[in-house]
């Protein structure tokens, strides 16, 4: 399979090189990726706690996707899916901190052969794997002030005449969060699934401060690229998955897999437009190849949504599939899901496993220490007890009517009136899992739901 895809990639390279040789110059590409940001926390998607003027300005100049999803809600598999156009089971990066198999096609290599100079600043690929994806210039992950200096330096001194594909990734708002924040913890609203405790508010305010900081850097980055790159420029903004709070990152709820996506290209994408088309991060690779004039390789899971960007279509996918295979020993848990226009079915193959994460096992002062308040409150408060229990224990099936229950609070699985829908979605999901070659691998020894005394921090 991988050899066939690789050969198709070579065909795309040949076609793309021919496209670059034509008179018309390819657009510069700028991809700005952030880390652990839930869509609902942005004003663009209804958030009310902070202002994000740079993100709003980008949206005013391009297209906002209201239903964009990642392939997996953990850093490494999510970014691998983006950079290969393949789902985790097919590219090999299934659990967190894993990487694609050798000879799997990679977006930077294709862009290089299409005639682009490629550069990655910060956290674009996971950890130190950027070089394995074929970026020509790689600047390691740094804090935003230093990254700003490095990006500025390279853009100001750049002499390469090729169009540039510039990928900039920031760690914001990934933990650790800062000790100070300009956002008042007492005046903010909280997601409905979270418990309202003092330290939960403090940590949410710190998380939101990092969102404000990444927004400010976006504004500066746009000024820099407007000054130093071509007028014909494709700009993409997105996040690798949702925030590191319960029912977000590491889960297949929308808080974990629905992410912001804004794409702008003056003169080519209608300003201030929005679309309800369902797209996945695996679709970004073929879309960029398509817009750069290359031939999209056969055998990908991703499909170009260029027609949506160009206003030729208002739909894309009929189904969104997502997978989660754990995060080393901190989160040994499998989930698979299928989403239609109206319903989402989540299958948890091992409901006997305890769902744990870095949040509740490490209880760090820079991130999840609020969970101590949660467990203490759960001893006396029935709602808190229910929330904590639902964090650690999931039923095998979860079915949500997203029209009636967009926050996914009412599990319909097992209800007689949706029995046929559940069965149809489960059959379709299992057929897709088989087609993917997904063996539902449990990568580490799990913690068991009936043994809470074992839920203690372990080596990753």
The highest-level CATH class for domain 2-318 is alpha beta
Segment 231-259, tens digit of pLDDT: 999 999 999 999 999 999 999 999 999 99
Segment 30-61, tens digit of pLDDT: 999 999 999 999 999 999 999 999 999 999 99
What is the rounded average pLDDT of the residues 429-435?
Answer: 98
Is residue 279 predicted with pLDDT exceeding 90? yes
**How far is it, in rounded angstroms, from Cα 288 to Cα 20?**
14
Is residue 5 predicted with pLDDT exceeding 70? no
pLDDT band at 335 (very low <50, low <70, confident <90, very high): very high
pLDDT band at 128 (very low <50, low <70, confident <90, very high): confident
To the nearest whole percent, how much of the chain has pLDDT over 70?
95
Would you state the pLDDT for residue 23? 53
In the chain, where the domains are located: 2-318, 322-454
Other Cβ atoms within 10 Å of 365 Cβ, number = 11
Would you state the pLDDT for residue 141? 82
Segment 337-357, tens digit of pLDDT: 999 999 999 999 999 999 999
Is residue 21 predicted with pLDDT exceeding 70? no
To the nearest whole percent, how much of the chain has pLDDT over 90?
91
Is residue 14 predicted with pLDDT exceeding 80? no
Mean pLDDT score of the chain: 94
Segment 358-377, tens digit of pLDDT: 999 999 999 999 999 999 99
Lowest-confidence pick of 86-90, 102-106, 194-198, 208-212: 102-106
Would you state the pLDDT for residue 131? 87
Measure Cα distances from 432 to 90, 148, 424 in Å. Answer: 12, 43, 12
Segment 96-119, tens digit of pLDDT: 999 999 989 999 999 999 999 999
Would you state the pLDDT for residue 460? 60
What is the rounded average pLDDT of the residues 212-241?
Answer: 98
Q: Note whether 2-318 and 322-454 share their fold.
A: no
The better pLDDT of the pair 418, 16 is held by: 418
3-state SS track over the chain: CHHHHHHHHHHHHHHHHHHHHCCCCCCEEEEEEECCCCHHHCHHHCCCCCCCHHHHHHHHCCEEEEEEECCCCCHHHHHHHHHHCCCHHHHCCCCCCCCCCCCCCCHHHHHHHHCCEEEEEECCCCCCCHHHHCCCEEECCCCHHHHHHHHHHHHHHCCCCCCEEEEEECCCCCCCCCCCCCCCCCCCCCCCCCCCCHHHHHHHHHHHHHHHHHHHHHHHHHHHHHHHCCCCEEEEEEECCCCCCCCCCCCCCHHHHECCEEEECCCCCCCCEEEEEEEEHHHHHHHHHHHCCCCCCCCCCCCCCHHHHCCCCCCCCCCEEEEECCEHHHECCCEEEEECCCEEEEECCCCCECCCCHHHHHCCCCCCCCHHHHHHHCCCCHHHHHHHHHHHCCCCEEEEECCCCCCCCCCCCCCHHHHHHHHHHHHHHHHHHHHHCCCCCCCCCCCECCCHHHCCCCCC
Would you state the pLDDT for residue 189? 97
Lowest-confidence pick of 78-87, 141-150, 212-221, 307-316: 141-150
The highest-level CATH class for domain 322-454 is alpha beta
């Amino acid at each position: 399979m991988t050899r066939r895809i690789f050969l198709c990639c070579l065909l795309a390279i040949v076609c793309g090189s021919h496209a670059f040789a034509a008179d018309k110059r390819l657009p510069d590409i700028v991809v700005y990726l952030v880390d652990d940001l839930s869509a609902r926390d942005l004003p663009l998607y209804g958030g009310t706690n902070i202002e994000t003027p740079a993100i709003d300005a980008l949206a005013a100049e391009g297209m906002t996707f209201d239903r964009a999803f990642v392939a997996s809600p953990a850093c490494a598999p999510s970014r691998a899916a983006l950079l290969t156009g393949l789902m985790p089971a097919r590219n090999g990066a299934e659990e967190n901190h894993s990487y694609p198999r050798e000879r799997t096609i990679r977006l930077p290599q294709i862009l290089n052969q299409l005639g682009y100079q490629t550069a990655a600043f910060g956290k674009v690929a996971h950890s130190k794997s950027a070089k394995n994806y074929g970026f020509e210039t790689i600047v390691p992950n740094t804090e935003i002030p230093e990254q700003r200096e490095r990006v500025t330096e390279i853009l100001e001194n750049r002499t390469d005449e090729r169009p540039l594909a510039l990928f900039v990734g920031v760690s914001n708002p990934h933990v650790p969060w800062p000790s100070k924040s300009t956002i008042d913890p007492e005046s903010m609203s909280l997601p409905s699934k979270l418990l309202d405790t003092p330290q939960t508010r403090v940590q949410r305010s710190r998380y939101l401060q990092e969102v404000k900081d990444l927004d400010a850097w976006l504004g500066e980055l746009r000024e820099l690229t407007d000054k130093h790159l071509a007028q014909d420029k494709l700009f993409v903004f997105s996040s690798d998955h949702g925030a590191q709070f319960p029912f977000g990152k590491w889960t297949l709820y929308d808080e974990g897999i629905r992410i912001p996506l804004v794409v702008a290209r003056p003169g080519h994408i209608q300003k201030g437009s929005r679309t309800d088309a369902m797209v996945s991060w695996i679709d970004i690779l073929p879309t960029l190849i398509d817009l750069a004039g290359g031939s999209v390789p056969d055998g990908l899971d991703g499909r170009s949504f260029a027609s949506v960007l160009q206003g030729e279509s208002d739909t894309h996918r009929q189904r969104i599939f997502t997978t989660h295979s754990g995060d080393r020993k901190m989160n040994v848990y499998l989930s698979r899901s299928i989403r239609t226009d109206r319903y989402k079915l989540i299958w948890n193959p091992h409901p006997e496993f305890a769902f744990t994460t870095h949040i509740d096992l490490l209880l760090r002062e820079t991130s999840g220490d609020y969970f101590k308040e949660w467990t203490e409150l759960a001893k006396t408060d029935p709602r808190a007890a229910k929330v904590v229990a639902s964090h650690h224990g999931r039923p095998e099936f979860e079915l949500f009517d997203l029209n009636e229950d967009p926050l996914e609070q009412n599990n319909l699985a097992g209800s007689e009136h949706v029995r046929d829908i559940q069965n149809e979605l489960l059959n379709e999901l299992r057929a897709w899992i088989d087609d993917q070659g997904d063996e539902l691998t449990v990568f580490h020894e799990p913690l068991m739901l009936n043994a809470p005394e074992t839920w203690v921090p372990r080596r990753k």
